[in-house]
Structures are given as C-alpha cells and as structure tokens.
Structure 1
Amino acid sequence: MYNLLNDLSIVEVSSFVASPTAGLYCAQMGAEVIRVDHKAGGLDYNRYMLTREGRSLSWENLNRAKKSVALDLQSGEGRELLVELASAVGQCITNLPEQSFLSHAAMQAKRADMISLRVMGWHDGRQAMDFTVNAAAGYPLMTGPEDWDPATAPPVNQVLPAWDFITGAYGAFAMMAALHHRSRTGEGSEVRLPLGDVAIGTMANAGLMAEVLYRGGDRERLGNAIWGAFGRDFRSRDGVRFMVAALTPKQWSGLVKAFGLQEGIAALEAETGVRFADGDTPRFQHRAALFALFQQAADSMDYATLEARMAAETCTFERYRTAYEAANDAQLVANNPLFGPAPANPSGFDYPATRSFANIPGRAPDDPAPAPYLGEHSEEVLSEKLGLSSGAIGKLVDAGTVALSDKDKT
C-alpha cells in the first residue's frame, strides 16, 4: 500500500467482484474507502468458500484496507443515513441500480459536486455478470482444442472473472478522472460503467471485432497456441508441461538455440521458402510444422535441462502450475515484495496478502491491511463524517438502524 490518496475518502456500496475491486484498488493507494453494507451483510458477505468460522475468503480479500459501516438498508432511516453519508463524503462507488434509493440524483440533491461511479450490467439496463457478458462477446467459442468440430463443439468458459477485474480497474481510473475534472472545474460527475461494455469494448480495442468483420467469419480454435504469433504449450521428456512465446527476434532466436533447432529450422526454411526470423506471420502460418519440431526437441530433454537452456537464452517461458503450487511457490509469493506479512484477517487464517500491484522505487510500501469486520467502523465513521454524537449513534444502534462489529458472531 502507498499513501498517495490519503486525502481521499470514498463510500462504497457494493457486492460481488467488479465494484468492490474498484474500491480495493483505491484503498491500496491510500484512499479511505468506507464500505457500507446491510447490517446482516451484503449479497456477497457469505460468498463461497467459507472458513470453519463462517468467514468468506472472497469477501475478505476484496475488501482489504477498507472500513465497514453496517446499516439497516431495508429501512427508510438506514437508507437516508447512507445517502447523507455518501453526499457528505462526496464520492461513491456502487453497483446498486440507478433506479434505487442511492441514485445519483438523490446524492446530488444534497451535494451539487457529487461524484458517483455506478457499475452496471448492460448499457440498456439488463442484468449481467462476468460469465454472461463473456458468452456474449464470443470468446468461449474461440477456446478449446483445434480439432473440435466448429458445428458441434461446446463453449469453454474462462475460470477467471477477467471482465469483473478489468471493470474494477477501469472504475478506479474513471473515479480518478472524475476527481481530476472536479478539481479543475468544480463540477461533479455521474459515471456509469456497464460491465458488458467493458467486455465488448475490449474485444473492439483488441482488434478482434475489426478482424472478424474484415474476414467475414470467426477465428478457428487454436488449442493453447497463441493467435498470430509463435507460442504454445510443450511437454518435456519427464512429463512437465510448459508454455513458451516468441514475439520478438531476440525471443525467437533464443528459443531456437535453447531447443537446439538451428539445423532443423534451416531445413524447414529451405523446404517452405520463408525466413522464420522475419516476424510473426511466417511463424504463425507454419506453426504446425514448427510445433512438431519443438515438441520433438522437448521429447529429448528433461525439464530441468530445458529450463536452464531457456533461462540462459533469456527466453519467455513458464512452467504450468496448479493454483495450489503457485500459492506455495517461493519465487511467486514468499520472495515477492508484492506480498507482505499476513494481517489480522477476520477469518483468523494466516495466508499471503498483497500490497499494491504497482510499486514505486525508492518508496517503501506499507504492509497489507486486513479486511474489516462487518460494522467495525460504524461508530467512527458516523461520528467523523456526519458529526453524530455517541448518544445519537447509541439510539440508532438500539433502534436497529446501525449495527456494530460482528467480530464475535457465532
């Protein structure tokens, strides 16, 4: 964590992945992010999987370094209190529907320069989630073994909810842009960020939309091969699977040398009449013959030998790991400054926690902060942001409008 945004406070009213991620990235750069949930927990509070103590590991990691306020958001008084809090702070990230009690108009009525960032489903108001927008964008029907029959092959969903995380990152950026605009003009902003637009817009920005329209059809499935370049998974003599990629002349020449294929490549060039050092196009067009050569070479060496040879030539490669193996890999985690000492997690489970993904040379980051207990900061926030006295807060607690920390929940 860095304290680059320590003069910024944001109210977050979120659930699931995209919207909490936007708040998380702001918090990792030092912003005070105040997550407000219904007093029994939001829709994602008990998201799978839960520890034996009943704590969601998903919720715990998406809400690190945030503060937590718990209100009765099913009551009019609790909702009014949230609108007051959001307008007092001046910035709000949410994925509640626009036609809800937390509309931009409701917050703006109390503060003219209000900034709200609202993560939506589709631009026309339809509901969506990562895996449904991914289905709409076409990627699952490009994924899978290349020998599958296009007419009958099933879609292959990606495991990582990538659109959610991209939306969260874009949301944090959009919030910074709106804040910059307000600092110059004094004007607030209502920012709407549809998850579906992130998916279909990324497809367009990547050139895929133009490509399929230009060719008048879809890409073929390529298995684990890289589209338009040289790269694929291979298996060593001792059965280790690894991925290689060669996009630059240096990467290509290093890979050929590491695999000991100088003569084989020269022979294939003579046969095909091309120079594979000329770029991605000849390597991609003749990928089947090249893959066969590289796999034949891999069949003759154990992975330890191949790894040493590829490292010596500064090749771009990596061994496939399971997620459990990755979590226990010293190079990826234990010796990586991205991770800091395990904070006091509400779950009571000690495991690696991330700092900010970005690092600033010469400036030491703070250690990772824990996620809050639900309602842990209700009293603090209502006092500091709304000026409520301890007596007034006590009455709200007694009335069930405000809830305090659930640290001792059973």
Structure 2
Amino acid sequence: MYGLLNGVRVIEGASFIAAPFCALSLAQLGAEVIRFDTVGGGPDFHRWPRDPSGASFYWEGLNRSKKSIAINLADPRGRELAAALVTAPGEGGGIFVTNYPVTGFLSHDRLAARRADLITARIMGHADGGNAVDYTVNSAMGIPMMTGPADHPNIPVNHVLPAWDLLTGSTAATSVLAALISRRATGLGQEIRVPLSDVAAATLGTLGQVAEVLVTGRDRPKIGNDLFGAFGRDFVTGDGRRLMIVAITSRQWSGLVEALNIEAGVATLEAELGVSFAVDEGLRYEHRDRLGALVEHAVSTRSATHLATRLDEAGACWGPYRTLSEAVAIEKPFLPEGGLFTDVDHVSGHTYPTPGYAASFLGLQRHAPVRAPKLGEHTEEVLASVLAMPSHEIATLHDSGIVQSSGAHA
C-alpha cells in the first residue's frame, strides 16, 4: 500500500472481479474504500477458491485493505443508508464504484441529485446493459477459437485468467483518477461506464487484431504454443524439463543462436531460403517449423541447468514451465525479499503471503497489505464517521436488522 490517495473516500457496492479490483487498486494507493455488503454476504462471498470451512480466498484477496458495512438492502431503509453513504459530504468523498444496474436506487442520476459532484464508475457486461461475464465476452470475441492445438481448429479453448475483468477494473480505476482530477479543476462529477465487452473490443483493436481480420478477410488460426508473428514455443530439455523460449527482438534471436551453438545450421537455412532471420521476426515465424527443429535438437541434448546458464549468459529470453505451487516456492516476486508479498493473518484463520500494490513508487515505502474485513466489521465506525450518526441511532438500526456488525459473522 501507498499513501498517495490519502483523504480520498470510495464507496464500493459490487461483487465478483472487475469492480472490486478497481476499488482494490484505489485502496492500495491509499484511498479509504468502504464496501457496503448485503447482510450475510453477496453472491461472491463464498466463491472458489476457498478453504475446507468455506472461507473464500477469492473474496479475501479482492477485498483486502477495505472496510465493510453490512446492510439489509432488501429494506428501503437499508437502501437509503447505502445511498447516503455514497453521497456523504466531504471533499475526498462522493466516489462510487459499482456493478449494480444502470437504473434503480443506485442510478447515477438519483445519487447525483443528492450530491452533484458525484463520480460513479459503473462496471457493465455490455454497453446496452446486457448481462455478461469475462468468459462470455471472451467467447463472443473469438479468443477461444484462436487458442489451443492447431489440429483441433473447431474446438474452442477457454483460458483460466479473467483478463477482461482485470483490464476492465484497471481501466475503471484509471478513469476514476482522471475524473477526480477533472472534478478538482471544474467542480463537476460524472458517471463512467466501463463495459467488459467494450474493453475487450478496444483491446483487440489496439493490438491490430481487428485490422488483421478486416484487411485479410481471415481469422487467425490456432497455432498451439507457438508465439504469433515471431519465434517462440515450448521445448523439452535432455533431462525432461520444459522451457518456453522466445525470440522477438534481434538481440533475443542472436542470444538464442549463440546459447545453443546453432549458428551453422541457421546460416545454412538462411542461405537456402535467401533470408536473414536476424532482421525480421516475421520470417522467424513463417519458417518456425524448420527453425524449431534446429532449436528442438539443441535443447534436447542439454540439461535444463546447463541451458539456463547458457541462455542467461547470452541474453536470450526464456522461462521454465512450473506449477503454481512450484512458482510460489521459488519465483522472486513471491519471496519475502522481493518486497511485494507479506505474510498476513486473514479472517479465514490462515496466514499466507499476500501482495501489496504491484507497482513500485521509487523513494516511497510500500506498506504491508491489510487483510480483508470481516463482513460488517466497520459498520459502527462507518456510520459514526461518515454519516455522523449518534450511537443510539446506530443501535436502533442494529435492533431493527437494517445493519449488522461482524459479531454476527465471526
């Protein structure tokens, strides 16, 4: 965590990945993020992965460094309380991150009538309000039809990383900061709508893939583990380890050739084809099968340890294939000396390494992450500090079941 957004208060009414990830990013930069959760937890409160008792590691991860107030949103008095929190006064307040529908009691227009400079970041499936999640957006955009073995062209392959959720959350966080800067200059608030499908479409356009299909009239085929447009794929070492070897730049290519001592074979192939692989990564892709055979033979006759040394010395680009459990035990970002992960005692009862904000602000200390809250852990604190509610009114809300504190969920 960093203290760059100290004094900024964000109210989050959201579930699943994109919107909570947006608010998490702001919390890790120092904003006070207050979640209003439904009594008993929202639809992602027990989502996998979770421990044998049912505690969600997923929820713990996405909601660290936040505060929680538990509200009965089925009751009109609870919905009024949520709206009051979003529109509470204060220079750094009036920022709302949500994936609730455009219409309803949390519509921007209704809330802005109570606070004109309100900033709302609304995560959506589709721009027209249609329902979507990362997997359905990904399938509709054609990514699974480009992914997987070349000999199964009509079988889609999904991926396990919710890329559009994460990119949408990051886009929303950036947009909130831009809106905050604008509000400080103009005094005006605004609603920001960030649909998953728009983020996905814009990304494919930015990467040239939309132009590719429109100009050529052809979809990109499945190519297995090959890197599109340059040289790169997985190779098996002499002792049975698997490495991903990539050569996009000229320097990476020359380093690979040097490390594997395949200069003669590459020169012979270049002479035969009348090309230079050193100057055009596209040629390396076009002739990847023949180049791959040279690299495959060289890798298969050497141990992984020998190759690691040689590839590093030559400045080649490569990486080993590992399971996540293997990576957690050995990869630098996960280790204490990396400074990114810190052991944290979580509400699930487990202590495990937990990441702080991924970027490093040189000259500033990255503070250790704060665990996710218990459901309703900050109910009394938030009502008193944000809404200036006296203790007897808070007690009445408790007694009537409009709010709950963590004591009911501990």
TM-score (norm 2): 0.97
Q: 2:148 aligns with which of 134, 144, 154?
A: 144
- Structure 1 CA distance, aligned partners of 2:181 and 2:340? 30
Task: Confirm whether residue 218 of structure 1 aligns to residue 199 of structure 2.
Answer: no
For the residues of structure 2 that align with 1:200 and 1:283, how far apart are their CA atoms? 29
Deviations 1:220-271 (A, max 9, x none): 2111111111111111111111111111111110011111111111111111
Instruction: Write the distance in 2 (CA, Å) between the matches of 1:147 and 1:404.
Output: 56
1:358 counterpart residue number = 359
Q: How does 1:209-288 map to 2 (within 5 A)?
A: 209-288=210-289
Deviation of the 1:338 alpha carbon: 4.3
Aligned to 2:165: 164
Q: Which of 107, 111, 115 is 2:119 aligned to?
A: 115
Cα deviation digits, residues 278-315 of structure 1 (max 9, x gap): 12121111111001110011111011111110011121
Q: Equivalent residue for 2:344?
A: 343
| SS state at 2:322 partner | coil
1:50, distance to aligned residue in structure 2 (A): 2.5
Which residue is equivalent to 2:45? 45
The residue type equivalent to 2:47 in the other structure is R
Q: Which residue of 2 aligns with 1:76?
A: 76
> Contact 1:338/1:357 (CA < 8 Å) preserved in 2?
no
Q: Secondary structure at the match of 2:246?
A: strand
CA contact (8 A) 1:342 1:352 kept: yes
Letter in 2 for 1:31: A
The farther-off stretch of 115-124 and 341-350 is: 341-350
C-alpha distance in 2 between matches for 1:6 and 1:173: 17
Pairing 1:392–2:393 present: yes
* 1:327 is aligned to 2:335: no
How far apart, in 1, do the equivalents of 2:51 and 2:36 lie? 23
Deviation at 1:408, TM superposition (A): 5.2
CA distance, structure 1, for counterparts of residue 408 and residue 255 of structure 2:
55
Q: Write out per-residue CA displacement over residues 52-72 of structure 1, whole angstroms, 9 at most, x where no aligned residue.
A: 343110000000100001100
Distance 1:28 1:154, change over 3 A: same
Pair 1:310 & 2:314 matched: no
Structure 2 counterpart of 1:64: 64
CA 1:219–1:199 in 2, change beyond 3 Å: closer, same or farther? same
Question: Normalising to structure 1: TM-score of the pair?
Answer: 0.97
Counterpart Cα distance in 1 of 2:228 and 2:401: 57
CA deviation string 1:342-396 (max 9, x = no partner): 2221011111100110001222211111110010011111111111011110110
CA distance in structure 1 between the partners assigned to 2:6 and 2:271 by the alignment: 63
* Alignment partners' CA distance in 2, 1:306 and 1:406: 56
Aligned with 2:37: secondary structure? strand
Q: 2: CA distance between counterparts of 1:406 and 1:336?
A: 37
Q: Aligned letter for 1:298?
A: V
Which amino acid is 2:251 matched to? K
Conservation of the 8 A alpha-carbon contact between 1:12 and 1:94: yes
Structure 1, unmatched stretches of 5+, are none
Q: For residue 239 of structure 1, what is the amino acid of its counterpart? A: G
Distance 2:282 2:109 in 1: 53
Alignment of 1:173-184 (within 5 A): 173-184=174-185
> 2-side partners of 1:223 and 1:406: how far apart?
52
Question: What is the rounded CA distance, in whole Å, between the counterparts of 2:333 and 2:33 in structure 1?
Answer: 28
The one-letter amino acid paired with 2:31 is A
- Name stretches of at least 5 consecutive residues in structure 2 with no aligned partner: none
Paired residue type of 2:275: V
Cα deviation 1:94-149 (Å, max 9, x = unaligned): 0000112111012101101111010001111110000000001111000111233x
Preserved CA contact (<8 Å) 1:339 1:352: no
